[in-house]
Structure 1
Amino acid sequence: MKLSIITPCKTKDIEKIKQLATNLNRQDNKEIEWIVACNSSELDLSGLNFPVDIIKFDGDNVAQARNAAIREAHGEYLMFVDADDFLLPGTINNVIDKLKPGCLVDLKVYPTYEPVNSYFNEINQKQEFRMPNWAFRRKPEPEAEETLLNDKFHKVDKKSVFEEISHYLKISGKIIPKGVIWDNDILFDEENPLYDDFYFMGKVLNIINSFIEFDTFKYVKVKHNDPINDPSLSQIECDDRWNQMLNSFIKTADLINANNLKDCIIIHSIKKINKYFYNAVVNNHFSSSKQSEIMDIMSGYFASIDHRLFKNVNIISRHILFNIRKHNYAKAIRQMKLIIALRYTHKILRNKGRGITRAYYEVICKKLKVNEKVIVYESFLGRNYSDSPKYIYQYSQKHYPGQFKHVWIAAKGSNVKKDLANEPNTKVVKRFGFRYMYYLGISKYQVINMRQPRWFNKKPGTVFMSTWHGTPLKHLVFDMENVASATRLYKKIFYEQSRQWDYLVTANQFSVDVFKHAFMYPEQKMIKSGYPRNDILSAPNREELSRNIKEKLGIPLNKKVILYAPTWRDDEYVDVGQYKFQLKLNIAKLREQLGDDYVMVLRTHYFITNNLDTSGFGNFVYNESSYDDISELYLISDILITDYSSVFFDYSILRRPILYYVYDYDKYASVLRGFYLDMNKDLPGPLLKTSDEVIDSIKNIDQVSTEYADKYAKFNERFSKWEDGHASERVVNMLLKNDARVKKID
């Protein structure tokens, strides 16, 4: 047996292991065995084309699992592959002949925060593999947009290995001769489960003198993007993390007899302490006793280090570390606070205006007294005066006149100030400006339909209400596998932000059930009210409102209106929160065949960055993508065409026809995000793949309505039961329920 692949597995990893099994099976090599050290009896890996040994291990940490597997390995070489990682196609065949006695092979690791399980399973069947440009989004390659992976490799001298010590101290992607491990009794440190590979690889590097490295990466390390439910070792919140880290430095440095390697490991440890420790102290991550304990360990470690190695950090940091070395902890802490303040000041200056206003909030506004009569509103990051915050505001103005100061947040270039120019007791402030920070600091109530800024901390005694912005169709937050459209810390940030919500407004029981797992939000804090923004759809004067809106937009009263409201696509990602959109519906053909009776109102998602040019369609298309209130566009429309947007949940309240133009349905459903509903069974309208099908359905819209009447009725019972035109009243009553000083006027 040439190669033993070792994988630790806990119960939570079983589904990942099955994906890895497919990946390894498609390597199609008989010279390997796979040893899975698992603490669960549920794992079944039968049917693979190479030997598999599932062993039980005593304990619950990765080091224990790896050590148990090492003792059972039969291969001449050992490779450690974690449950959620992958090897690129042909990796084992390409590497098996390169294995030489006493030589360590580095497969070169590509780290990504994007789960690519199904993607790699598919490409494993192909002879040739090109890494797509999206894979290099966070780590650009100097090559072309698309990189053809090759099988070239080169020898690496030991000096170069030491210079890249932070990489070589990690076990991922390394193939190590078993004899080196067994003959020298090298095992993972079971007493230090968070940093077990640091000690292990330190011992390996102390012995091995021969190294080869591939020119392009062969090992894909999928980093964990859900630190709440599925944290990696580095994401686990642990009281003794710093103890374990320092002990791994000390223990590893003590065993090294090669001076160059020892110095490189010590320099690496000094830089890591310098990078992270000051923030931990200044932000009070430790109790005073814990802080003293850690500094005592650090002091002893620093005392054993040659002072010349401290020159690898700046002079201020050097003074801090020397003071810890001398037990001058109080002085060191003062200096840490200074260096953190300098870093913060640099960040403020780098961010210019926004950095200064943020400092103003942190230093002054957070300490101001709360004003019980101030309500702050924000809709879609200040882009417009719309959605549920608008209708909550209008209800409060009408039924609690003069009793509150209403503050609306406006983004640069929005029409919010213009829309509210003549409203009493209302102020509009620029998002991230000084007045914005001031009112966030003093307001009793905050009503927002998306998420608050990450740095915002709700004050005790204040009320934060998230109205959210739609019934979920596509998977959200903790139900998403791929978070390519946001920062890798998206789930952690969302979790921390949503813990500050006092209330979450919901439109139906379906949303309640989804938000419980998608947001991990408690049901008892949800308001089961319907959406305030939908009250207009049940208004007794909605016909009059509709006519007024059409006249405002210049839409002929004698023509029917088709509302086309497509959403954004994950795979048309440009940057965080920005997308492109290609208009696939044949508007020219719709105009030709329907233009006598219809006009089209186009409303794209606000994420979409490019402005669609509709000037060539004359008076058939009204591009209202920047129109603030989509509820008003629902009101004037006779037919809705959409795709994967949640707009149809709200539109269905009107009981008007809905068509789904889903030209990319197969791709969108299986590869991108998936859905909470079965679109083939649950929707109150047909799924249409071509423009001709859309045109035919509109021409025969009465027949379509009859065909989907029963589904429509069931859909409304499920999703619109709470939408009776009084959601704003229920929400405001909950928002102000503990405010005895206000008086409602009916």
Structure 2
Amino acid sequence: MTSNQEQKVSIIIPYYNSMEFVGDCLNSVLFQSYSNLEIIIINDGSDQENTLYIEQSVTDERIVYIKNEAKHGVAFSRNQGLKKATGEYVFFLDSDDLLTENAIEILAENIQDHPAIIGQRKRLLRPTDMEMPIEPPELNVEEKSSRTLFKGGSILNVLIKSDFIHEHNIQFYEETQGYTDMSGIIQFILYVEKLPTLNIRTYYKRVRNDPISNPSLVQRSIEERTKDFVRIYLDMVKAYGGAEGAKQFLDHLFLHFYRRQVISIFTDEKHFDEFFTLLATAVNVMDPSLISSQPSHIRKELTHLRSGNKEKFKKGLQFHIEARDFKNAIKGFTRLKRYIYKKFFLKRPMKDNYIIFESFLGKNYSDSPRNIYEYIIENNLDYQCIWVFNDKNRKIPGNAKVVKRFSLAYYYYFAVSKYWINNMRQPLHLVKRQGNVFLETWHGTPLKKLVFDMRDVYSANPRYKRDFYMQSRAWDYLLSPNSYSSEIFRSAFKFDKEMLEYGYPRNDILYAPDKEERASRVKEAIGIPKGKKVVLYAPTWRDDDFYEPGKYKFQLQLDLHKMKEKLGEDYVVALRMHYFIADDINVEGLDGFAFNLSKYDDIAELYLISDILITDYSSVFFDYANMKRPILFFTYDLEKYRDQLRGFYLDFENDVPGPLLRTSDAVIDAIANIESLKKDYAERYDTFYERFCSWHDGKSTEKVVKKLLFGENPKPKQ
């Protein structure tokens, strides 16, 4: 595409503490196919680190940098940008969003005699969402009603002629933080009947993956957003309410906001009166004829707001909530079970001696929850234990009640059990009652960056950080295996309750006096030939390669057939995939050599039988190091995993207690020369053991149980 680039486009970018995003944003502007740009960046009182970052980024001669000494808000910053803009066109861009590479060129080429033109935009949940369609659609321009185009209340992704801005004195409302686009849009509603819109994507609207640490304006609390919306609505009606089209547009925006947010606004009883008064004020300036066109329950609520009848409004709202919940419940059995849980089970008395256990999403009888449970039954403690499994017919030792995950029984026992013990995050819809005690055992020492220490989210759930934060607020205790983990957990999980620094109960088996006998029994049960040494291969999952949340792809890179050919006389291989991996590993033609033990319950028992561990970036090597046996790292995709997908807490190349190997041949050679490797890495291994394993003494389970159930504190670590 070629276009006349004689006319300058001023791109106005307010910036506030968004250094993790603005680099991508600026690059998307600087490398536009349309080069005649004026890029106005307004630093709206960012902190020192963010200010330093943006000021070091201002290197292109087309950039105009403005610094507000204090935070005034996005509207103030846009108004500052408009004062500086010298282009024939203006375009507003948020500092966490991005443009497609020819966005400005396409918009400028097709605006023609119109005062503005609008492109298509896409929500950007994760970096991979920027992948372009294989066959982009053929360009099409269609004129639509301004009211229709701006019904979302956003002025982003709109190329506007400066003459129109000056003629109608477009300014942004500075009295609120959010919803200030309404004050820029209103002039289009007043004076422009139709505008052209493209069918081509020109804009990526980022949904910030961390609404906890640094939320966007739309990720603030519902209370803040409601106050902002009602205030700007009232002031806009006061200023433009005499114009029929503008008033109707504003009223429809208010109704849209009300219908989407009203239930959330009134969830907190403490602020009921405040928000009733606020919304009643807004309803009383709205055109009353619009009320009659609403659904009956909304019509009644608005009528009670208008008349100021709190009690009738409260009853109507409660009916609205109940009706919504019931209507949702009857859409399927899964929803119905959750409805019964919240409406009935949560009202049952809590049972102080009930403990509910779950490990790896119900897939295993394993890990620290298993150790804690077995300690309870072996010591005849007076507790009713409930275990959650995906298979309701699962058999385990002791007299525990076994329930199927997400069954009615599952919801009943989660509702009435005082103690919850889990090594994963609990489902978001479970409600922690007053009196519940939640022990989160977690499931490893972190190598890969976790949650709030991650910059981007590549996993199947783009709301990973938000969900994790909400789930972890329910944890009363969190287990830690070493001081390194304690520090990371507090940062990555934003955990501020009690850390139990006792080591992991699951590792007690590695120090048990009968561990050799147990290893022999496990080998025999699996069918490993006598006299053969065991290599355990336990890789992790890749965040960006998935079918759906919780189901990740995995293509085996280790050449097992070559391993069998070279090492088969002395070794067998035990394969243990991560519990997230959905693929079955093909071991056809490897009978007697490769054993797929991915569904084996307790990986600690596989540690016991293994002479060598091969892993990559899985945290299993931290636990295996308790054995002081050789560890090999098969890291064929190290750069991608380290630099793009996750990032590491350790200096991986220099701190891990074994060699980093890129090919199957290198792995085979290392195993063939394992005794020499053990000597080469002995000093590093000792240092690693002291740092990550020294808290373990075989008594972690006892310490945890005595603390959790009896409030006893073990002797402090020496």
Does the alignment reach a TM-score above 0.5? yes
Hey, what's the Cα distance between the residues in 1 that align with 2:465 and 2:451? 6
2:70 & 2:684 partners in 1: Cα distance?
54
Q: Partner of 1:657 in structure 2? A: 630
CA distance in 2, matches of 1:23, 1:164: 24
Please state if 1:716 is matched with 2:689: yes
Deviation string 1:149-204 (CA, Å, 9 cap, x unpaired) is 468341413x2x4234324x302211112222222222111112211112221223
Confirm whether residue 670 of structure 1 aligns to residue 643 of structure 2.
Answer: yes
Q: Counterpart in 2 of 1:410?
A: 389
Change (3 A) 1:711 1:237: same
**Residues 594 and 707 from structure 1, CA distance in 2 versus in 1: closer, same or farther, beyond 3 angstroms?**
same
Q: Percentage identity across aligned positions?
A: 36
Shift of 1:606: 1.4
Deviates more, 1:234-243 or 1:649-658: 234-243
Q: Distance in 2 between matches of 1:582 and 1:509?
A: 35
* Structure 1 contact 361–438 (Cα < 8 Å) conserved: yes
3-state DSSP class of the match of 2:577?
A: coil
Conserved 8 A contact 1:299-1:326: no
Query: Partner of 1:34: helix, strand, or coil?
Result: strand
Aligned to 1:482: 456
Which residue pairs with 1:163 in the alignment?
A: 148
Q: Answer yes or no: is 1:47 the counterpart of 2:47.
A: no
What is the CA–CA distance in structure 2 between the aligned matches of 1:596 and 1:673, rounded to whole Å?
38
Match of 2:27 in 1: 22
1:179 correspondence with 2:163: yes
CA distance in structure 2 between the partners assigned to 1:51 and 1:491 by the alignment: 33
Residue 302 of structure 2 is aligned to residue 315 of structure 1: no
Per-residue deviation, 1:500: 1.7
1:68 Cα deviation after fit: 1.4
Q: Which residue number in structure 1 is paired with residue 4 of structure 2?
A: none
Partner of 1:702: 675
Residues 27 and 89 in structure 1, CA contact (< 8 A), matched pair in contact too: yes
Secondary structure in structure 2 of the residue aligned to 1:618: coil
Secondary structure of the equivalent of 1:562?
strand
Equivalent position of 1:79 in the other structure: 91
**How many Å apart are 1:57 and its aligned residue?**
6.0
Q: Cα distance, 1:29 vs. partner?
A: 4.8
Query: 2:107, 2:159 within 8 Å by CA — same for their partners in 1?
Result: no
**Displacement after TM superposition at 1:55 (Å):** 3.6
Helix, strand or coil: the match of 1:217? Answer: strand
Whole-angstrom distance in 1 between the partners of 2:672 and 2:712? 54
Give the superposition deviation at 1:371: 2.3
Secondary structure at the aligned position of 2:11 is classed as: strand
Q: Work out whether 1:332 is the aligned partner of 2:313.
A: yes
> Structure 2, unaligned stretches of length 5 or more?
1-6, 714-718
Q: 1:632 to 1:330 in 2, by over 3 A?
A: same
User: Among residues 370, 379, 393, which one is paired with 2:373 in the alignment?
Assistant: 393
The 8 Å contact of residues 121 and 204 in structure 2, kept in 1 or not, is answered as yes
Q: CA deviation at 1:15?
A: 4.3
Give, in angstroms, the shift of residue 619 of structure 1: 1.3
How far the C-alpha of 1:52 sits from its partner, in A, is 2.4
**2-side partners of 1:210 and 1:457: how far apart?**
49
How far, CA to CA, are the matches of 2:415 and 2:37 in structure 1?
62
User: For 1:267-308, what per-residue CA distance to the aligned partner results, in whole angstroms no more than 9, with x for missing partners?
Assistant: 343133122213432x23652320331232133133x3433x
Q: Is the 8 Å Cα contact of residues 423 and 440 (structure 2) preserved in structure 1?
A: yes
Of residues 184, 187, 191, the one that matches 1:200 is 184
Report the TM-score when normalising by structure 2: 0.92
> Which string of whole-angstrom CA distances, capped at 9 and with x for unpartnered residues, describes residues 548-598 of structure 1?
000111111210011111111112111111111111111111111111111
* TM-superposition CA deviations, 1:30-81 (whole Å, max 9, x none): 4211111112453413421524233436543111111111111111211111
Q: What is the identity, as a one-letter code, of the residue corresponding to 1:427? A: K
Q: Give the alignment of 1:544-563 within 5 angstroms.
A: 544-563=517-536
Pair 1:731-2:690 in alignment:
no
Q: Secondary structure at the match of 2:354?
A: strand
Q: Residue in 1 aligned with 2:261?
A: 276
Q: Which moved more, 1:48-57 or 1:640-649?
A: 48-57
CA deviation string 1:355-375 (max 9, x = no partner): 333233223332333322222
Q: Which moved more, 1:444-453 or 1:17-26?
A: 17-26
Which residue of structure 2 lines up, in the alignment, with residue 569 of structure 1?
Answer: 542
In structure 1, how many angstroms separate the alpha carbons of the residues matched to 2:527 and 2:70? Answer: 74
The secondary structure found in structure 2 opposite 1:617 is coil
Q: How is 1:57-136 mapped onto 2 (pairs within 5 angstroms)?
A: 59-100=71-112, 102-115=114-127, 131-132=131-132
Matches within 5 A, 1:306-385: 306-307=289-290, 310-311=292-293, 313-352=294-333, 354-385=334-365
Unaligned runs of 5+ in 1: 121-130, 133-145, 741-746
Give the corresponding residue for 1:217: 201
Which secondary structure does the structure 1 equivalent of 2:151 belong to? helix
Partners in 1 of 2:137 and 2:676 — Cα distance?
58
Q: For 1:9, which of 12, 15, 18 is the aligned residue?
A: 15
Superposed CA RMSD in Å reads 2.4
Evaluate the alpha carbon distance shift between residue 276 and residue 365 of structure 1 in structure 2; reply closer, same or farther with a 3 A threshold. Answer: same
Q: Aligned with 1:175: secondary structure?
A: strand
CA distance in 2, matches of 1:730, 1:248: 57
Counterpart Cα distance in 1 of 2:269 and 2:612: 56
How far off its partner does 1:414 sit? 6.5
What residue number does 1:232 align with? 216
Please list the CA deviations of residues 411-443 of structure 1 after superposition, one character each: whole Å capped at 9, or x if unmatched: 2x377x3123xx14x221222233322322222
Question: Per the alignment, in what secondary structure is the counterpart of residue 653 of structure 2?
Answer: coil
Q: Read off the aligned partner of 2:297 and give its amino acid letter.
A: I
SS in 1 for 2:510: helix
Matched letter for residue 405 of structure 1: Q
Query: Normalising to structure 1: TM-score of the pair?
Result: 0.89
Instruction: Letter of the 1:438 partner, please give it.
Output: Y
- How far apart, CA to CA, are the structure 2 residues paired with 1:27 and 1:49? 15
Q: Is contact 1:485–1:575 with CA below 8 Å preserved after alignment?
A: no
Change (3 A) 1:288 1:668: closer
Query: Matches of 2:147 and 2:550 in 1, distance apart?
Result: 40
Q: CA deviation at 1:634?
A: 0.8
- The residue number in structure 2 matching 1:299 is 283
SS at match of 2:456: coil
Q: Is the 8 A contact 1:472 1:676 kept in 2?
A: yes
* Structure 1 residues 299 and 258: CA distance shift in structure 2, 3 A: closer
CA distance in 1, matches of 2:313, 2:630: 69
Q: Give the 3 Å change call, closer, same or farther, for CA 93–200 of structure 1 in structure 2.
A: closer
Q: Distance in 2 between matches of 1:58 and 1:480?
A: 29
**Structure 2 SS opposite 1:515:** helix
C-alpha distance in 1 between matches for 2:368 and 2:172: 55
What is residue 744 of structure 1 aligned with on the other side? Answer: none
1:246 and 2:227 are equivalent in the alignment: no
SS for the counterpart of 2:705 is helix
Matching residue within 422, 429, 446 for 1:472 = 446
Q: Please tell me whether the aligned partners of residues 206 and 257 of structure 1 are also in contact (alpha carbons under 8 angstroms).
A: no
- Secondary structure of residue in 1 paired with 2:262: helix
The CA deviation at 1:16 is 2.9
Determine helix, strand or coil for the equivalent of 2:308. Answer: coil
